[in-house]
Amino acid sequence: MELCNSPFLYVLRTGLWGVLPDGPGPVRLTQTDWAALLEQASAHAVDALISDGAGLLPPEERPPFQILAPLAMAVDAIERGNKRVDAVLSSMAAFWDNKGVTAVLLKGQGLARMYVKPEHRTPGDIDWYLPGNENFRKALSLVKAKGVSPEIDGDGDYHYTVNGVVVEHHREWCDISSPFKKRRIAAIESKYGYLQGPDYMVPAPLTNLIQLNVHILKHVLVMGVGWRQLCDLALATKHYSGQYSQQEYRQAVSKLGLMRWTKLLYGVLAKYLGMDCALMPVAPLQSRDTDRLAELIMGCGNFGRESGKKMAGSYASSAVMLCRYVPGEVIWRPLMLAWNRFVQLFSRK
């Protein structure tokens, strides 16, 4: 069966958009079929979306009773996880504001509000972008004064845990590796910046769409990426429709050397997630590479969860394919990771 016609993606599309997709759906999947589908949902961190989609299927196509209990438990865990993350996020946002720290929330709960049911986006870490070296150091000093011991990661950023929630401090808002594009990233940040929400700042629409785009690229190259991240980009693109200039977006990704990659990425959103092409800022690419990227995503799972089991050598193969789209990132990403690790080892000594 062709991947785009798989029961998993059909049910995912249904839950993502809140309506049944055009075309035939899964026909009376067996209990074994549904168990395998739920395993895929867990691997891609889209359990609640699958639950929502399954609930919209015709009664005769819905999962059997034996599947409903574990699915309900997974959804309940996601909902409770969102409440826990929201509580930590609210507390930290108030803390930063009280201490005069500029903190911009990346991804995560800032995207959850774009979902049909915000509580059904599987929560992850809290990612703070702290612009400016002095501001970054101040935030780090404040959490250390609270008795927290942040650990440095491979990108030179820091992470720690608050009430069971992982919090990350980022020096940069965009994961572009090429040092020759840093000024262009800074220019985009300066021009479009951030928006102040009721509780915290988030990237402005154009800035956010570029950040999500490059974040997916980073994980395709490094760890692997799952359908949750593709769902984030699809819903953000729809949510921001009419709130930014598509022409300026195209100019920005062109200056970053990402236009061909962006067309490939939106090609996957169109063919495999059923996104309306009229909402896209670029014309989606449909080629064999679109299918290869979708197959890579399917095999990797959320941040590479499935890659060791199903996609041995997938990163090497993705790098070969992506050389045709983002050669600079294919070269610079491993070099930057190696350099950061070298610096960390040297600083410890």
- Spell out the domain ranges in the chain: 1-63, 203-344
Q: What is the pLDDT of residues 4-55, one digit of tens each?
A: 889 999 999 999 999 998 877 777 899 999 999 999 999 999 999 999 999 9
The rounded Cα 139 to chain-centroid distance in angstroms is 24
Model confidence at 339, pLDDT cuts 50, 70, 90, reads low
Q: What is the pLDDT of residues 229-268, one digit of tens each?
A: 999 999 999 999 999 999 999 999 999 999 999 999 999 9
Mean residue pLDDT across the chain: 91
Q: Is the pTM of this model over 0.75?
A: yes
pLDDT at 50: 97
pLDDT at 347: 54
pLDDT at 300: 83
CB 297 within 8 A of CB 225: yes
Res 312 pLDDT > 60: no
Instruction: Output 180-186 pairs: Cβ under 8 A, ≥24 positions apart.
Output: 180/328, 181/256, 181/257, 181/328, 184/255, 184/256, 185/256
pLDDT at 310: 42
Kindly state the average pLDDT of the residues 145-149: 94
pLDDT at 343: 60
Res 305 pLDDT > 80: no
Res 126 pLDDT > 90: yes
Q: What is the pLDDT of residues 66-79, one digit of tens each?
A: 999 999 999 999 99
CB 37 within 8 A of CB 30: no
CB atoms within 10 A of CB 292: 17
